Structure formats: structure tokens, C-alpha cells
Structure 1
């Protein structure tokens, strides 16, 4: 599948495709800023990768910030003054006076804070189709397979118009529509719910000199382990090729798989686990990756 990336400078395109108002029975009133403790915004289920948990925490820290159409799409991630939504000028008339986020602006900010990189700089459609995905879930799967930090999207025929961040327990954090603030909501399944995407856990700041590097796994349903041994507990499963950060590598248990034998294992800090170098693209002993102490 080809993915469309929207540059930060494409302000006109973003303004036309940023999240429009999400239909609701009644327009929510503008609430006074809520405290995090009162909002219930937090990681509400186990199993998420550290980068996803950091994204949830960053989004939750914005509870009470205004929704502002096209907000959050400045040169750098973060709240900005919005624009009048041409599809809903009445409700969005005050958005140019409100410093905040639209739905994709909030998602962009959350993952920029979590990874140290502006990896989701675009509208909701491009975020849902991101090349940084490690897994995708259809609308018919509901919330069963989802983990905190997954991105939920709404739209038909590929025309995604809204995106939010899953918290767990059927809850999500979102910048929903003009006149409201960043809030916790129940996940809205049905209607034009399009599914969800999981951002690759290996996405993060590039390590400095002597601190490893970014590589790609290969194969399907490959597990990491809590120790550099296949007999140690499993930690995380890569359903397909995934970009990962490797901090260091060491010689440990010899493993034979896919017709390859190797005793080198790599430590993945974002997953807090080890993976045999057999499933890392590159030589048996990775170039530029230091030996674990």
C-alpha cells in the first residue's frame, strides 16, 4: 500500500483535510480545563510498548486544551491557533482565537513527544496510513486486540476524517470538534469507524555515537525474550518486519532458525527485551552496535 506523507509546510492541504467536526447528538459545551486526575486519562491496560505509553501520557497532559481546527500543524509539534473550518464556519468561528489542537495535531504532538521525532506530521488520513505502523486492525475486530497508544480512525472509502489515541478499557483521548477541549471519550465503534493502527515500538530518537542504531527485523510472528535465550519468557511479538532501536549486542545462547545458526543477541530498549540477530537484517554481528556490558 502506498502512503501519503503531508509536509508541515503544506498548510493549505492540511487546512482542507484536518479533522472536521465529528457528528454528535448535541454539541459539547466548552469545559473548563480539567486536571489529569479528574479526567481519567491514563494508560488503562497492560501490554503497550514504552513509546506508546509515553504517547498516551503526552496526549493526556493536554486534557483541557482547546480543540482548534487545523491547530497543532505549525512548523513544530505543539498547540497553535486554528482556522475557521469552511465546512462548519459557525461552530469554528472562534478557532482562530483558540490555541490548541485538532485531532491529527494532537496525535502528531503525542508521538513527537514520545519518540523525539516528528514522525506523524500530517493529517488524519496520512497518520492512519503511516509507514511507521507495526500492525493494523479492521473495524470488525473492535477493541479486543488494541493496546494503549494505538490510533483509532473514522472515515469511509479511505477518506479518513478523525483520529484518536486508545487508552485501554474502551476509552480514548481525542481532540474531537470545535467548541470542546481535549477529552477522554468512550470509543465509538460502528458508523464509519475504520479501524486502528499500531505505531512501531522501535520508533524513537536515533541513538548517539556508541549507543547502537536503528535496524529492521524480518520474518513474521518473531518474539523477543526477557533474556538472551529462547528459554526465557517471551516479551513482545513482531507480526512482521519492524523498525527497531538496538542499544547493544552480546554473545549468548546459540540459536538455529531459518537455516541460520548464530549466538549473537541484540537488546531492544523500547521493548525491554532481547532478539536473536538471526531476525535482524544485517550481518551476524551487527556493524556499529557496541557489545553489551
Structure 2
């Protein structure tokens, strides 16, 4: 027979179990896999490819995954991070290297070869979401980014149910984490691996800034680190610009950046062929 004190303790324990809010299977699940419905087949394959690397206990390495072909590479020492001292000895990925590998495996094509900013602003975008949108509209395989429009410094792959797969930092293995919405989260992009529609061109030069308006005095949005494939929605005559021996007053609107760039830095004619004039 239970003593009175033991009986009371048992009743309290049962009451706690009955009243404690249940933890959903998805919330408690830290495994790396697709955790929600609705994603495209390619996005689900990308999640699977990333999760295979998580399951293999692959290291984060600074600069890892950015070799001539997608896949793990030995990293480099990050001068700002003492924890990266062993990265040159470790075969692995940094954040964008993992994303590049995952979508190359999923699509059979190296469609996301670049750093986090280039991947977010990719012309292979089916849709973009802001931080204000939260996680509600996101699907597994969407790419989450952190930073500012000028400096997107981290990227991860959404799994669903508030979880993501990421290469986070030196000294750690690839991992599944809760999405960090209060740590500089910028937004997300959904990848469309199919043929790119619209007017597609390529820039030239390095460090070429896009602008919030067709003016050199306008706010900077994002700088192309090097020659970049872009989609142009329209063009118009605006401020005359002289640079690198060229003068032109034509500016193009880039819908993936919600920004403008002078036509001086777009390969092609001074006034781009077959591109309509902007009405705004």
C-alpha cells in the first residue's frame, strides 16, 4: 500500500502529465529530413543531399565546397575566427558550399555556384520572402539568409517545422538547427531549377553596385563580386554615367534585386536589344 505522501506525489505527477502541453513530433524531431509537405521534387532532393552530409558528420570548413565542381573541399583559415585553424585539414563545406552541393545533386547542374548573397539573388528564383513574412509561407528546400541586402553572410536550407540544415561555423559539424528569426534573419528564396525566362544578360567587372534608383547617388543595394548572370525586366534613360572609358545614360531594372544598374556594366549594346522601356 502507498503511504499518503507517496499517493499525493503520484497524483501530482499524473496531473502534471495531463496538464503539460504536448510536444508535437515535428517540434521534437531533430533528424535531418523533409519535415513538411508541399515542396517540389527538386527541393526535396536538395534537402536529402544536404541531410546526407549532416548524417555523415561532415565538418564545417571556411571556404569549403567552392572548388571547380560542387562537393566537399578542404577549407581555409578565416583570419577573423581562431576556431578555423584546423579548417585546412578538414574536408567539408561552408554555408554556401553546402547549398551549392545540395542543389547540384538535386538538379544535376551547378546552378548555385557562389556565396550566400549570389545564391539569394539568383536568377533561378521562383519566389522571395521577407523576414516579416516569417516561416508560414516557406517550404522545405527554401534557402534562408541572414544579414543585410548589401551583405548576406549566412545561408541555410529549410526543412520545415521551424528546422534547417546548415554549415554554421568553424569547429562544428554540419547540423540541424532551429531557425534563428531574431539574429539578423533577412528572408528566404525558393529555387526554380527549370529554364530561366525573361531577358537574361551577364555583367562584367568586379564590385559593381546595384542601386535603389537609377542614380549614382542612390542607396546601394548589392555589389556583384564578379561577372554575374542577371535578369533584366526593363530599361530607361536616366542619369548619365561615365565609367571605365564609357558614357551611357541607360539603366536597367533587375527584378531579382529590386534595384537598378547602369548599362555600362551589362554585356551587350548600350541600349539592350529586345528589352522594353520601363514605365516606372
TM-score (norm 2): 0.58
* Superposition deviation, residue 215 in structure 1: 7.4
For residues 62-116 of structure 1, the C-alpha deviation after alignment (integer angstroms, 9 at most, x for no partner) is 011000000000011000000000121x110000000000000000000000000
1:140 aligns with 2:137: no
Secondary structure of 1:162's counterpart equals: strand
**1:180 aligned residue (172, 175, 184):** 172
**1:85 aligned residue (74, 78, 90):** 78
Is the contact between residue 85 and residue 92 of structure 1 (CA under 8 Å) also seen in structure 2? yes
Provide the rounded CA distance (Å) in 2 between the counterparts of 1:160 and 1:69: 16
Is the contact between residue 42 and residue 167 of structure 1 (CA under 8 Å) also seen in structure 2? yes
**1:62 aligned residue (40, 45, 53):** 53
Name the counterpart of 1:42.
Answer: 33
For residues 177-229 of structure 1, the C-alpha deviation after alignment (integer angstroms, 9 at most, x for no partner) is 000011000000023110000001xx25xxxxxxxxx5749xxxxxxxxxxxx
5 Å-filtered alignment, 1:129-278, equals 129-200=121-192, 203=193, 214=195, 216=197
Secondary structure of 2:99's counterpart equals: helix
Q: What is the root-mean-square deviation of aligned Cα atoms in Å?
A: 1.7
Provide the rounded CA distance (Å) in 1 between the counterparts of 2:137 and 2:184: 19
* Superposition deviation, residue 120 in structure 1: 0.3
Name the counterpart of 2:64.
Answer: 71
Provide the rounded CA distance (Å) in 2 between the counterparts of 1:191 and 1:172: 14
Larger radius of gyration: 2
Between Structure 1 and Structure 2, which shows a larger proportion of helix residues?
A: 2
1:108 aligns with 2:100: yes
Secondary structure of 1:70's counterpart equals: coil
TM-score (norm 1): 0.56
Which 5+ residue runs of structure 1 have no aligned equivalent?
1-37, 205-213, 218-240, 242-293
Provide the rounded CA distance (Å) in 2 between the counterparts of 1:54 and 1:141: 25
Secondary structure of 2:88's counterpart equals: helix
Question: RCO (CA 8 Å, sep 6+): is it higher in 1 or 2?
Answer: 1
Which aligned runs of 4 or more in structure 1 are off by greater than 3 angstroms? 214-217
Is the contact between residue 124 and residue 196 of structure 2 (CA under 8 Å) also seen in structure 1? no
Aligned length: 169
Name the counterpart of 2:8.
Answer: none
Provide the rounded CA distance (Å) in 2 between the counterparts of 1:97 and 1:72: 14
Provide the rounded CA distance (Å) in 2 between the counterparts of 1:131 and 1:41: 28
Q: 1:128 to 1:172 in 2, by over 3 A?
A: same
